[in-house]
A and B are shown apart, each in its own frame.
Chain A
Amino acid sequence: GAVVSQHPSRVICKSGTSVKIECRSLDFQATTMFWYRQFPKQSLMLMATSNEGSKATYEQGVEKDKFLINHASLTLSTLTVTSAHPEDSSFYICSAAKIASGGYNEQFFGPGTRLTVL
């Protein structure tokens, strides 16, 4: 199988603080990982593509200085929400890309991190 973990699963922080979320591929190496954000009753919105050993590619409208992404190894990517504000409260989900047995590029999702900024 392909298992992706995220830590922490839930975090509550004060406005102005920074929060780091880790995404790990446990049983495979992922050169590419993706970070999504999901607001209540909405779909997943891609924030950025994280490539091992290079800078992340951010989607339009996502502030790269606010959402810092580091992909230091083939099994770990981190997302740091800097100076978090209540409007950053959301469900953050990562995924790791792997070539599936059918030959297509499949993304395996982590369990998500619920961020609440007070």
Chain B
Amino acid sequence: GQNIDQPTEMTATEGAIVQINCTYQTSGFNGLFWYQQHAGEAPTFLSYNVLDGLEEKGRFSSFLSRSKGYSYLLLKELQMKDSASYLCAVISNDYKLSFGAGTTVTVRA
């Protein structure tokens, strides 16, 4: 089976940095995705990691350690519009996506 854990909620101040951790135990691994989801909308793609290391994309960075079954999403220079749910998802050998429960990030002024 798949087990993907991430914190339920995080709160941060506008302009600050927040790191969302994700640990996973899955049968097979073909990469890890981070998605952003605003309430009532579909998820939108943020990042994909398949090799160990850090991928940077503007204000968002994602890190992966396959040996530790661990990833994090780093959000820098937080803006109010970044308030959303952030989903960690692992794609397994059969190309199915398994999602974590999501981390709700609230950005305060």
Interface positions of A (Cβ within 8 A of B): 32, 34, 42-46, 49, 91, 93, 95, 97, 100, 102, 104-112, 114
Contact = CB atoms under 8 A, between A and B. Distances in A.
Contacts of B42: 93, 109-112
Interface residues of B, number: 21
A114 B42 CA distance: 11
A111 B43 contact: no
User: Chain A's interface: helix, strand, loop or mixed, by majority?
Assistant: strand
A46 B40 CA distance: 18
User: Chain B's interface: helix, strand, loop or mixed, by majority?
Assistant: loop
9 shortest interchain CB distances as A-B pairs:
A109-B42, A43-B99, A43-B101, A112-B42, A44-B99, A43-B102, A111-B42, A105-B95, A93-B42
A107 B98 CA distance: 12
A112 to B, nearest CB: 5
A109 to B, nearest CB: 4
